[in-house]
Structure 1
Amino acid sequence: MKKLLICRHAKSSWDQPWLSDRERPLAQRGLRDAPVMAKRLKTNHIFPNKIVSSNAKRALQTAEIYQDEFSKEDVWFEKTPELYHASVREILQLLRKQDNRVKSLFIFGHNPGFTDLINYLGEPLDSLPTAAVFGFTFTTDQWTAISPENASFWFYDFPKNQSPKIL
């Protein structure tokens, strides 16, 4: 079985409008919400083998906060431009390239691609909020084989959620 956590970056700052979209950092709210979400996962014994993040600053900062919450020695970490404003097709290509030794993969990136991926895999969602995490399990041992047919909803959580549903 493979586990995928789709993690949208935490709230970004617009305090420096001259920065490029890729260079926008997290806002104070994002810096507050990201560790809360990482701790919730850890409390529920949900750990990554690997983290892959968009190279946009806000996504990378969010991913690094999560990595700090987990044991860095046990987690592979990769940043890539492939997740920056990626389409479903591009995200699936990235997922299907993963080493099969990775059992639990956390990806950090952006809407609309992440919401589109969630819908493609079979769960209706209007928009993945900032700092939200959406989990799927796949009944396969090969990343190349992941598809809507072997995807199952695992959980969905976001900072304002008072009762996350984890199956």
Structure 2
Amino acid sequence: MKSLTILRHAKSGWDVAVERDFDRPINKRGARGAELIGQWLKRQKLPVDRIIASPAVRVTETLDIFQPAAGLDALEPHWDRRIYLASAATLIDVIRDTGRDAGHLLISGHNPGLEDLILMLVPETPGDDLRARVEEKLPTSALARLDLDIADWHGLDIDVARFADFIRPRDLDPALAPAMDDD
């Protein structure tokens, strides 16, 4: 059995002038969300053996805050450019390629790819509230934890996962709930 933790980057700073989307940083609200989600993961004592992530600035800054808060600062992320704005199919390929022998893998990146990945991996089941929340939206700094009945990451395929957890920053601090759809 494997577990996959999916972490969307923290809220971006749209008020910062950057030449490329890749270079957009997170803002204060995003930093708080990343910290809260990291603290939550640490309290849950959920293991992570390996981290793969987009090298985009908003992801690197998210992990700079999330990892110490989660007690994962000893893990060096594997930066994979393919994750930047990737489709769910590409993310599956990345996980198959870089998961290696990790039992508990964390991937951090961007929407819509991460949201689509979750919806591809977790089959539709009547009354699945967690899947319904992801269908509504995978907000910034949200974390989904999936359990997979596979022996090797090469066996990753659609409809092989089930939710273990799903948490959003607003679940931990209502002040972080969006006023509007402002990701």
TM-score of the pair, normalised by structure 2: 0.82
Given that 2:148 and 2:160 are in contact with CA atoms closer than 8 Å, whether structure 1 keeps it comes out as yes
Q: Compared with structure 1, are the counterparts of its residues 90 and 34 closer, same or farther at alpha carbon in structure 2 (3 Å cutoff)?
A: same
**Cα distance between partner residues in 1 of 2:52 and 2:62:** 11
Q: For residue 88 of structure 1, what is the aligned residue in structure 2? A: 88
1:66-115 deviation per Cα after TM superposition (whole angstroms, max 9, x unaligned)? 22232433x24211111100001100001111344201111111101011
Which residue number in structure 2 is paired with residue 152 of structure 1?
A: 162
2:57 & 2:4 partners in 1: Cα distance?
A: 22
AA aligned to 1:140 is I
Structure 1: which 4+ aligned runs deviate by more than 6 Å?
A: none
Higher normalized strand content (fraction of residues)? 1
- RMSD across aligned positions (CA): 1.7
Structure 2 counterpart of 1:58, which letter? Answer: R
Q: Which runs of 5+ in 1 are unaligned?
A: none
* Residues 29-64 of structure 1, C-alpha deviations (whole Å, 9 max, x = no match): 011111110010110011311111101100111122
Q: How many residues align?
A: 162
Q: 2-side partners of 1:34 and 1:162: how far apart?
A: 11
Query: Equivalent residue of 1:161, what SS?
Result: helix
User: Would you say the 8 A contact 2:8–2:140 is kept in 1?
Assistant: yes
For 1:47 and 1:105, how far apart are their aligned partners in 2?
Answer: 9
Q: Which runs of 5+ in 2 are unaligned?
A: 123-130, 174-183
- Where do residues 48-63 of structure 1 align in structure 2 (5 Å cutoff)? 48-63=48-63
Q: Of the candidates 132, 135, 140, which is equivalent to residue 145 of structure 2?
A: 135
Secondary structure at the counterpart of residue 137 of structure 2: coil
